[in-house]
């Protein structure tokens, strides 16, 4: 089901502006649909469609009772004032309020949106349906957001990496890691991994890249990057070419930035033994084949970065119960889900003698197909 709406708002200067919004709902065999809303100049239907499908498989691998959806508005949030963004969000919500709902479709933040956007959607939706905190996740804590949500994707990457290494008889302690991307996911992953004894030897973001073979001082780097809006110029390491970050010598490579960064141009140069896909679709299919031949083990994005949607599920559960958990419970439950998730994917790989990506997709498709059949729908 695809919905396209026109959202016309008064700008601050009194002129009118029209933006196109989308909501794509892919599958609800296993439960209400779930997926982000992004504000980006290049939001287009095909991409939204692909991302909605990806959410169906991601929630199925994580074994949380959701299907996939995705949405967005074609706009540049950097060029809109806060009050313009609020008006746009409220008009968009007015157009889709009958499409979303606690038991039908639960949006979340994505590129260009955040807790404040979710607060506006919640407020506007509640005007029509009564107070409904569970209609969106990723909310501010004060309005029913979950503790631990901010760190969830990065913490999930930690748990996924630990499970993967354990399978190979290794622990995180002393492993050398390279992290591409130092936004929410990359910075939390770096912090939590270094706390567990992992050595983060190089990181990069849009400003630049730095390396220290003895391991970067992550707490200092986090402080520095917050003050200077990036890692460039950090004194605890040497500056390197950001394009070479993926081919630095390390044990575990964590792409946590954009899609398509590992491709046939650089796949042969990759020195890591393990790649943990914290970003969505960082490895293109050609690179996948090259790395497989080299014996590199790839932990696929639909499992590796599912910590965020899992804690979104916990937020929804807490809102429905009207009872909030402490952060320790959130983190413990996340660890349980991620550890079990890895075991389920691994079982599938053994059954079908395939790699982790194929195992994860097979597990997901099986779960969705089974639910579809049990409900009496034609698969």
* Separation of alpha carbons 238 and 347, rounded Å: 42
Q: Mean pLDDT, to the nearest integer, of 129-136?
A: 97
Alpha carbon 22 to its chain's center? 20
> What's residue 45's pLDDT?
84
Domain ranges (residues) in the chain: 2-59+67-145, 151-303
What is the DSSP annotation of 103-160? TTEEEEE-TT--HHHHHHHHHHHHHHHS--GGGSSS--GGGTPPTTTTTHHHHHHHHH
Radius of gyration of the chain (CA): 21
Band (351; pLDDT cuts 50, 70, 90): very high
Q: Which residues pair with 203 in a beta bridge?
A: 179, 210
Q: Do domains 2-59+67-145 and 151-303 have the same CATH topology?
A: yes
- pLDDT beyond 70 at 94: yes
- Provide, rounded to the nearest whole percent, the portion of the chain with pLDDT above 70: 100
Q: What is the pLDDT of residues 145-183, one digit of tens each?
A: 999 999 999 999 999 999 999 999 999 998 999 999 998
Under 8 Å between Cβ of 157 and 189? yes
pTM score of the predicted model: 0.93
Q: Is 34 annotated as a binding residue?
A: yes
Annotated catalytic residue 70 = yes
CB atoms near residue 86 (< 10 Å): 18
* Separation of alpha carbons 263 and 352, rounded Å: 26
Helices 327-352 + 356-374 axis angle, to 10 = 100
> What's residue 43's pLDDT?
84
Band (379; pLDDT cuts 50, 70, 90): low
Domain 2-59+67-145 has CATH 3.20.20.70: no
Under 8 Å between Cβ of 342 and 365? no
Which of the pair, 327 or 43, is modelled with greater confidence? Answer: 327
Q: Mean pLDDT, to the nearest integer, of 296-316?
A: 96
Alpha carbon 174 to its chain's center? 27
Residue tagged active-site, from 70, 191, 199, 211: 70
Q: Is 153 annotated as a binding residue?
A: yes
Q: Mean pLDDT, to the nearest integer, of 87-115?
A: 96
- pLDDT beyond 90 at 100: yes
- pLDDT beyond 80 at 378: no
> What's residue 258's pLDDT?
83
Q: What is the pLDDT of residues 188-231, one digit of tens each?
A: 999 999 999 999 999 999 899 999 999 999 999 999 999 998 99
> What's residue 74's pLDDT?
94
Alpha carbon 227 to its chain's center? 25
- Sheet containing 105-109, strands listed edge to edge, beginning at the edge strand earlier in sequence: 2-10, 16-27, 67-74, 33-40, 105-109
CB atoms near residue 203 (< 10 Å): 30
- pLDDT beyond 90 at 46: no
Q: Mean pLDDT, to the nearest integer, of 11-15?
A: 97
Under 8 Å between Cβ of 86 and 12? no
> What's residue 36's pLDDT?
93
> What's residue 80's pLDDT?
97
Q: Is 329 annotated as a binding residue?
A: no
User: What's the token pair of residue 169?
Assistant: 């008889």
> What's residue 260's pLDDT?
86
Q: Mean pLDDT, to the nearest integer, of 50-72?
A: 95
Q: Mean pLDDT, to the nearest integer, of 79-93?
A: 98
What is the DSSP annotation of 220-249? HHHHHHHHHTSSTT-TTSEEE-GGGGGGSS
User: How distant, in Å, are the alpha carbons of 3, 14, 78 from that of 6?
Assistant: 10, 19, 20
> What's residue 42's pLDDT?
84
Q: Is 331 annotated as a binding residue?
A: no
Q: Mean pLDDT, to the nearest integer, of 65-78?
A: 96
At the fourth CATH level, the homologous superfamily of domain 151-303 is NAD(P)-binding Rossmann-like Domain (3.40.50.720)
């Amino acid at each position: 089901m695809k919905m396209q709406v026109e959202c016309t708002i008064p700008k601050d200067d009194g002129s009118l502006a029209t933006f196109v919004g989308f909501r794509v709902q892919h599958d609800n065999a296993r439960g209400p649909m779930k997926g982000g809303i992004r504000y980006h100049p290049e939001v287009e239907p095909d991409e939204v469609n692909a991302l909605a499908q990806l959410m169906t498989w991601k929630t199925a691998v994580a074994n949380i009772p959701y299907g996939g959806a995705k949405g967005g508005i074609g706009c540049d949030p950097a060029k809109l004032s806060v009050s313009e963004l609020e008006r746009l969000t409220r008009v968009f919500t007015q157009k889709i309020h009958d499409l979303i709902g606690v038991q039908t479709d639960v949006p979340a933040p994505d590129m260009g949106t955040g807790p404040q956007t979710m607060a506006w959607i919640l407020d506007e939706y509640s005007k029509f349906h009564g107070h409904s905190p569970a209609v969106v996740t990723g909310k501010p804590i004060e309005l029913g957001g979950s503790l631990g949500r901010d760190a969830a994707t990065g913490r999930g990457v930690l748990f996924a990496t630990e499970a993967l290494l354990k399978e190979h008889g290794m622990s995180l302690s002393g492993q050398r890691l390279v992290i591409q991307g130092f936004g929410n996911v990359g910075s939390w992953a770096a912090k939590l991994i270094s706390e567990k004894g992992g050595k983060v030897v190089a990181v990069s973001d849009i400003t630049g890249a730095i390396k220290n073979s003895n391991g970067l001082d992550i707490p200092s780097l986090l402080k520095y990057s917050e003050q200077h809006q990036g890692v460039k110029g950090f004194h605890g390491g040497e500056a390197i070419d950001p394009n070479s970050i993926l081919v630095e010598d390390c044990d575990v490579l964590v792409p946590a930035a954009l899609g398509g960064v590992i491709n046939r141009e650089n796949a042969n140069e990759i020195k890591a033994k393990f790649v943990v896909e914290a970003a969505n679709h960082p490895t293109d299919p050609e690179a996948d084949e090259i790395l497989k031949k080299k014996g590199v083990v790839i932990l696929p994005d639909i499992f590796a970065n599912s910590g965020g949607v899992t804690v979104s599920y916990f937020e929804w559960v807490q809102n429905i119960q009207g009872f909030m958990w402490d952060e320790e419970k959130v983190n413990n439950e996340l660890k349980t889900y991620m550890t079990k998730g890895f075991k389920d994917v691994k079982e599938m790989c053994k059954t079908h003698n395939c790699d982790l990506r194929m195992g994860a997709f097979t597990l997901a498709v099986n779960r969705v197909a089974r639910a579809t059949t049990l409900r009496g729908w034609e698969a």
